[in-house]
Each structure stands twice: as C-alpha cells, then as structure tokens.
Amino acid sequence: VLGVDRVTVVGHSFGGGIAMQFAYQFPERTERAVLVSTGGLGPQVTPLIRMLTLPGAGLVTRAITAKPIRPAVASGLRSLSQLPLMAVRDLDEAADVYEKLADPAQALAIRRLAKTVVDWRGQFVTMRDRAYLTKLMPVLVIWGHDDLVLPVDHSQNLPSMSTSEVHIFERSGHFPHKDHPEAFTKLLIDFCSEKAPAPYHRGKWRSLLRRGEQPVEINDIAEAAKKRSKPKRADYDVTATSASSSSAVS
C-alpha cells in the first residue's frame, strides 16, 4: 500500500522484543533494527510490572485507581517527575499508565500483556537465543543510564556482533527519546545513513535456521546442492513448504 518494501524497525521496551521478532520472521523486509530500552535481554524488571502478574492484581489496581483519589495521585506523580532526582525521572510516564489502569478494559489488556513476558520472578522471555539470526543485520541498542524499569546492564547482553552497536544516554531513564529528543533523532538518522541495509539471501537464511549459530556460506550451499541429485518435483514441493513453515514459526 505504501510502496515500501524494506524498513528499519524501531522498538521501545516491550516493543523492542516485537521489533526483533519482526526481524526474525521477516528478514526480507528488514534492513536494520533499533532497540530502545528493550525487554528480552535479561530477567530483571521493575517490581511494579511484576506485581501486575500476581493473583489479585486486578482488585488492587481497581482500589488504587478509585475515582476519589485518582486525580491527586496522577497529579502528584507528575509533580514529582519535575524534581532533579534520578528515581522520579519517569513518573510522568508512570502517571499516564496509572490513569489507564482506571479503565477496566485497558487494565486487563496491560495485565495480560505483562503476563506474556513477565511473572513474579521477572522476564521469562528472551531474544538472546535467536539473536544469531541478526548477525548480518545492523542493530543499534539505545538505553538510558538511569533506567529503573529495565537496567542499563541489559544493553550489554545482546551477543556480540560486528554489525551491532550500543549507545547509552546519560541523565536519561526508560525513555531516552523523551529525555534527549534531538540527540536521539540524530543518532537514529546517522545510524540509518551510515549502516548499509542487511543483505537477504533465502538460502543463507534457511541455513541459519537449520544450523543455529554455525551459518553456512552461500557458496557452500550451492556446492552441496550440485552434489545432490535433483529431487522429484513432488518431494521438492514438500521440502520447500516445510522449510517455509519453519521460517514463519520461528
């Protein structure tokens, strides 16, 4: 519809995991990936999110977002966020989430979303086991040094790749794009202009999926194919369908 065949995918927090999942499933559509304070790189996460997954969380959220106290709490959070203290830097964003929890439908959606990746112990979904699939893809990891939602140490947990780089914003929390909008935008534009789009080759992508972290070079695939006798048409169709299904699931 838009006439755009390939894109640079940018994801923040939970969206970072979605961005990587998109890159895994649609490498032919992905040129680069940018992960901003992303989930999926370690179990640690703020206790406030873990609490949303506990039994009875719905009753608690209804109580603390009751109409008589809601305006005062939201206003207090936003006022505290103006203080020059690291611990309260992102409370204005927390106030927005707090107000959404007052809506039963939105509260249910937020709790269900949290439960898909977090339990009382922390994050249980990881992107590290499939990060090798982006070895040929430029990846930019951006984090705020004072992030209290997902610790900045997670920025070092993405397996080392020659195509990846990490940028840490000082005096920034979980929303570096909000704390330093101009510098963030410049960083993103420079990354897209300086890093060539990831190449895509269907045969090499299949080899990555089949062999894990030991990719086979394209030339090796071609040589191996020459040594095998040409399969029957029916067998070839079945094999191709099976491989395509595996790629989609992964």
Catalytic residue ranges? 13, 147, 174
Q: In whole angstroms, what is the distance from residue 11 CA to residue 115 CA? A: 19
Query: Minimal CA–CA distance to 75: which of 104, 53, 95?
Result: 95
For residue 164, give the 3-state DSSP assignment: strand
What would you measure as the largest C-alpha separation in the chain, in angstroms? 76
Q: What is the Cα–Cα distance from 164 to 11, expressed in whole angstroms?
A: 15
Rounded to whole angstroms, how far apart are CA atoms 67 and 83?
Answer: 26
Say what angle helices 202-211 and 218-227 make with each other, to 10 degrees. 90
Amino acid of residue 108:
L
* Total length of the chain: 250
For residue 7, list its beta bridge partners.
30
The answer to whether 50 and 120 are in contact (CB under 8 A) is yes
Helical H runs in the chain?
A: 14-25, 47-51, 57-64, 70-80, 91-100, 104-115, 176-179, 181-194, 202-211, 218-227, 233-249
